[in-house]
Amino acid sequence: MEFWNSLWNIIWVIVSCFVFIAYLIALFSIITDLFRDRELNGWWKALWLVFLLFVPFITSLVYLIARGKGMSERSYKAAVGNANAVEDYIRTVSQASPSDEIAKAKALFDAGTINADEYDQLRAHAMNQVNSKAGSAQA
């Protein structure tokens, strides 16, 4: 219990934990970049991993200095690719086709949730979307 009585010991533990966590983040970033790089030969990847295992701190510094620019470019490309994939997925999921809207309106009408006038309005709205898309495609 003597260890926790000194403020400097507590500060040293906090700083040590911070440095260790920062090192782990850098290490996992390097390993991720190694497997993301399609231009690097498999033997070079294995060599980097062996050096990371036996001489981790120096190898991490050498890797960041030698391949840091390419690492940031690959990371940027992966982030942009992921963002585009998410946007494409959201676009495909969020846009219902007019036939889907008419089918949903028909199901609501059959269930008695909406009346005939509301069904006709929803169907007309869906048909207007089809006509507006066809008109914009012709222009």
Each residue's pLDDT tens digit, 115-139: 989 989 988 988 887 777 666 656 5
For residues 68 and 128, state if they share a domain: no
Give dist(CA 25, CA 76) in Å, integer. 17
Give the CA dihedral 83, 70, 66, 51, nearest 10 degrees.
60
What's this model's pTM, rounded to 2 decimal places?
Answer: 0.58
Q: What is the mean pLDDT of the chain?
A: 87
Residues 78 and 123 reside in one and the same domain = no
The span from the CA of 27 to the CA of 129, in Å, is: 52
Tell me phi and psi for residue 115, to 5 degrees.
Answer: -95, 180
- Please say whether the beta carbons of 36 and 78 come within 8 A: yes
Task: Find tokens 């309005």 and name the residue.
Answer: 121
pLDDT tier at 50, thresholds 50, 70, 90 = very high
Task: Say if residue 18 is in the same domain as residue 80.
Answer: yes
Same-domain status, 78 and 109: no
Number of domains in the chain: 2
Whether pLDDT at 96 is above 90? no
For residue 2, the model assigns a pLDDT of: 74
Q: Which helix (DSSP H) or strand (DSSP E) does residue 78 occupy? A: helix 56-94
Q: Do 77 and 57 fall into the same domain? A: yes
Length of the chain: 139
CA 17, 20, 23, 25 dihedral sign is: negative
Residues 87 and 116 in one domain: no
Domain shared by 73 and 102, yes or no:
no
Q: Based on the domain organization, do 102 and 85 belong to the same domain?
A: no
- Say whether both 76 and 8 belong to one domain: yes
Residue numbers of the domain that contains 106: 98-138
Together in a domain, 69 and 114: no
Q: Are residues 68 and 119 in the same domain?
A: no
What is the number of alpha carbons within 13 Å of residue 44 lying toward its C-beta? 10
Give the position of tokens 């992966």.
Answer: 78
The model's pLDDT over 12-43, given as tens digits with 9 standing for 90+, comes to: 999 999 999 999 999 999 999 999 888 888 99
* CA separation for the pair 35, 52 (Å, rounded): 14
